[in-house]
A and B are shown apart, each in its own frame.
Chain A
C-alpha cells in the first residue's frame, strides 16, 4: 500500500519508511556524524574526567558529610537532568541544545538568555583552561619528573611555568591549537577526540587499579619519600601537612552530618549535569538511541568512575590528609611541601612506578587541551542556532561546504575566547583562575538547566503536540523536571551561602548578572529590529 516516494531522507536504517523522527536531520548543512560513542566522548571532553576528579577531591574533603549519601543525591539530580535533555533531544534533534528546547516550548528570549549565558561562560572557561593547562597540568608533570628523577632543571621549569609570562605565551599556544583542531571539520575533531579520550580513560583506569592496590601506609611512605626529595629533609611531611593545616585553623569536618552530605551537592555539581553535548544535537545520528546512550548512560558511567576514584583516594590518602591539604591549597599553599599544586593527579601518581607516574601526570593536561576545541564546537552550534532562527545576524549560520561546519561561528568562538583569555590572564594566578572557573561552572549550569526543567514541567500544557513526541510524556516528564528544579535551588542556595565555593564573591555575581542582562538586551535589539515576526516564527500556527 506504499507507493514510491521521493523523500530520500526518511528512511530508517532498516530500510523502511521512518516512523516519527527516526532519521531526520533538521539543521541546515550540518552533517549528522556523531554516534553514541562520539557523543559520550564529546561529553567527556566537555566535563573532563581528570579535571572533574581534581575538583571533587579538592572540595569534598573540605566539606565533610557522608560521601556516599551526597553522591547518590547528586546522581539523582544528574539522572533527572540528563533524562530531560534526552527527551528534548529526541523531540527536537537540532543544533543549539537548550536554546532550541526552551525557545520552542516557552519563549525564544528565555532560550536565548539561558543558552548564550552558558556559551559565554563556556568560552570563559576556555580562557581559564588555557591558563590551567600550564599552571596546573604541565607544572605537575615537570615537577613530578624533576623530583622523582632528581632533575632540578625540571623543577625550575615547573616553577617558571607559574609565572605570568609563560602562562600567557603557552595559553596563546593552547587557544591556537584548539582552533587548529576545531576549524577543519567536525570529523577531524572527532578523530582526535577518539584517540585522546581512549588514552585518558585508559590512564584513568590504570590510576584506579594502582589506587586499589595501594594501602594507607604505602601512600604515606610514598608521599614522604617524594616530598623529601624536594625539600631535602626526611621529616614526616604527611603528618606535617595535617599539623600545618590545624595550626592555620583547619578542623576535621564532620563526616556523619546529614547537612554536610547535602552540602556536598554543589561540590559534585561543579562538574555540571553532563548536558553540554546537547548543543551538537543536530549532528547526532539516530537521536533516540544516541542521546540515550551518549548522554544518560554515558553520564552515569563517568559519574561512577569519578566516584570510585574519589572513594579510593579517601581510603588510600586518608580523609584528614586530603581535607587538610585542600585547606592549605585554598588558604596557605606555601606550607605544602611540593613545587606544584597538590591536585589529585599528583597524589594518584605517587601510587605508581615513577615512569608510569610521569606519563600519568601529563594526561590531564592533554585532556584539558581537548576541552578547548570541544568548547568551540559547543559555542559555535549555539551561535548557529540563534542565527538560523534570525535572533543573531544570518552570517553566523553560514555552513562551510567543505568542512560542513559553521565556520564563521567557530572563528567567532576562537576570537571571543582569546579576548576572554587576555582578561583572565591579567590578574593571573593559577589558584585564582581555578576558583574563578569553579564559580562560573555552576552559574553557567543552573540557568539553562533551570529553564529546561521548567520547559519539561510545562511541555504537556504549552506544546502538547511536542509532548507526544517525547519518550517520556506528560506527568512522567514533570517529575524529573520538579526534582531538577529542587536540586538547582538547593545548589544555588548552598553556593551563595557558603564561602567555600567562592560563588558568593561580588565579582562572580556581578559578572553573571551583567552577562545575563547584556544577553537580554541583545535579544531585545533583535526583537525590535525583526519585529513580531521573530517571535511568531516560534509559535504554532492554529490549524484552520
Chain B
C-alpha cells in the first residue's frame, strides 16, 4: 500500500508550509504532494519612524508598532498568513507605491527568497527519511517558480510530466487554470488546458492506476463552487441577487472532460479554497482538500492507494 498526503494553496504561509514539511512523518505518508499556489500575494512594507517605532502598511491600513518585540510578533503573523514583510525607507515606500513594476520586482524577490528557504528546510528535514516530495506551481505562481523548484535535487517538480510515484502508480501534473477574474500568471484557455492534459494522458501507460494532480477542479463538481464575481469592476465584486450571493462552479470543463474520458484512479485538485470535499466522477475519486492558509491551518488529504483501487482516504485539518 502507498500512502500519500496532499495539500495545496498554501499561498506563502510560513506556518502552513512548515506543517506540510512535518506532514509526511506525522501521517506516516511516504509521498507528500503540494499542489499549486505556493507563493504569497502581498507585501507588507514596514517603515522605521524612529529608534523603536514603525509603520506597517497592511491592506491599505497603516499599523503603528511601538517596539521591536511587537513588530516581530506582527511580522510572524504576516508570514504565517502568507504575506511578505519588507523593511524600507519612506522614500522607497513612495517609489514602490508609484511604480508598480518596481513593487512587483521586490515582491518577486521576497517570494523567491522564501521559496528558497523552504526548499532548504524541506531538504534538511526530509532527505534520508524515505519521504518523496512533489511540489508544483499553480495559476497564482509565476512561471519562474518552476526554475526555483528545479534547483533542488530532492524535491520533484512534476509539472507537465508523467511521473511514476511507486511501482504501479503514475501521476500527471498541471498548475494551469482556466481563466479567472483575476488575470493570474498561469491562466490559459480551456482549449489550451485540454491540450496540456492530453499531452500527458497520451503518455500514461496504465490509466487505472493514474493520478491527476491538476490544480483547477473539474467544472460543476461541488469542488469548485464559489461566489460569482462581477468582472466589470476591479477588484471584482461578488454578485448578489435578492440579497443572496450568486454561486457557481468555477472549475474547468477541460479537466472534467479529461476525467470523464480517461477515468483515472484519483484526481487531486485545489484552487477553490472553500470547496473542500471529495466526490466521484465515474470511478475517479476527486479530492479538493481546500485551504485555510491564512489561519495557518494546513488542510489536506491522506489517501491510501493499492493497485487499481483507493483503499481509504481522509480529509485532514492540521
A interface list, Cβ under 8 A from B: 1-11, 13, 15-17, 19-21, 23-29, 31-33, 35, 104, 285, 388-390, 394, 397-399, 401, 465, 469, 530, 533-534, 536-544
Contacts and interface: CB of A to CB of B under 8 A. Distances in A.
A540 B106 CA distance: 33
B292 A24 contact: yes
Contacts of B107: 1, 3
Interface stretch (B164-172, B201-209, B256-264, B269-277): B269-277
Contact of B315 (A7, A35, A388, A539): A388
B104 interface: yes
Contact of B314 (A1, A401, A534, A539): A534
B235 A15 contact: yes
Contacts of B44: 1
30 contacts: A3-B41, A3-B107, A5-B41, A5-B140, A6-B139, A6-B187, A8-B229, A9-B227, A9-B272, A10-B294, A11-B238, A15-B237, A16-B60, A17-B59, A26-B276, A26-B290, A27-B277, A28-B223, A28-B279, A31-B247, A398-B279, A401-B220, A465-B297, A538-B317, A539-B318, A540-B318, A541-B23, A543-B21, A543-B22, A544-B19
A320 B187 CA distance: 76
Nearest to A541: B318
Rank and list the top 7 A-B pairs by shortest CB-CB distance, nearest first: A28-B277, A543-B18, A541-B318, A29-B222, A25-B274, A544-B21, A541-B19
Given A3-B104, A8-B181, A24-B274, A533 B302 contact: yes
B255 interface: no
A8 B11 contact: no
A6 B273 CA distance: 10
Contacts of B271: 6
Given A1-B103, A10-B273, 10 more contacts: A6-B177, A6-B271, A8-B272, A16-B235, A21-B295, A24-B292, A33-B244, A533-B27, A541-B26, A544-B21
A2 B182 CA distance: 12
A302 to B, nearest CB: 23
Contacts of B312: 530, 533
A104 B245 CA distance: 29
B211 interface: no
Contacts of B27: 533, 536
A4 B296 contact: no
Contact of B180 (A8, A397, A533, A538): A8
A415 B26 CA distance: 40
A26 B225 CA distance: 11
A390 B18 contact: no
B273 A24 contact: yes
B99 to A, nearest CB: 12
A285 B245 contact: yes
